[in-house]
Amino acid sequence: MNYNDEIRSLREEFDLKDTVNLPVIKLANELGLKVRALDLNALRKGLSGVLRKNSEGQGEIIIDINHHPNRQRFTIAHEIAHFILHNNRKVDENMFETRINFTDKAENEKEKEANRFAAELLVPGDLLTREWDSLLIKETRLLALKFNVSESVLRRRVGELGLE
């Protein structure tokens, strides 16, 4: 299962087809979602991201202010995934929360889908293949910096695409 086509059309829609360092906050804003950073873990332990309708009726993504920027970017992409895949580009009163532990099986499945979509949104297969092919020395750390993601996310994508 991959989200190749969905990612391509989403990136095309916002003129981001060839953008290696994806401006995730700008993309969220263009989808009508505000992005805020709070001490989420203090509010509820294990909570790292929220997609919800705020008191003004606007959609918003909340990330944890204490997380590493790479992780914050991944969380924003993850919440964008919920917005597109599971919410039909709408926000309602029910919140999607990203927790460390999930109990409900359907929720667990949605979390997996959102993680998968987020990884592909940040590191699309066509862009990664192009960048990888242009490297003389195959160095994942440098590519991770280019894509502005953690090296573990980048390595996983390299493996999935069979580029090693």
Give the residue carrying structure tokens 């862009």: 127
Query: Which range touches Zn ion (CB under 5 A), out of 29-37, 66-74, 93-101, 128-136?
Result: 93-101
Residue with the CB atom nearest Zn ion in the bound state: 98
User: Would you count residue 72 as binding Zn ion (CB under 5 A)?
Assistant: no
Distance CA 153, CA 120 (A): 10
Residue 105, both tokens: 């099986």
* CA 86 centroid distance within chain: 14
72 vs 98 by CB, closer to Zn ion: 98
Site size with Zn ion, rule: CB under 5 A: 3
User: Would you count residue 75 as binding Zn ion (CB under 5 A)?
Assistant: no
Task: State which of residues 24, 50, 63, 114 lies at the interface with Zn ion (CB under 5 A).
Answer: 114
Which residues ranging from 7 to 46 are in contact with Zn ion (CB under 5 A)? none
DSSP reduced 3-state for 68: coil
Full strand arrangement of the beta sheet holding 49-53? 34-38, 59-64, 49-53, 96-98
Select from 71, 3, 2, 63 the least CA-distant residue to 28.
63
User: Would you count residue 98 as binding Zn ion (CB under 5 A)?
Assistant: yes
Distance in Å, CB of 96 to Zn ion, minimum: 5
What is the binding site for Zn ion (CB under 5 A)? 98, 111, 114
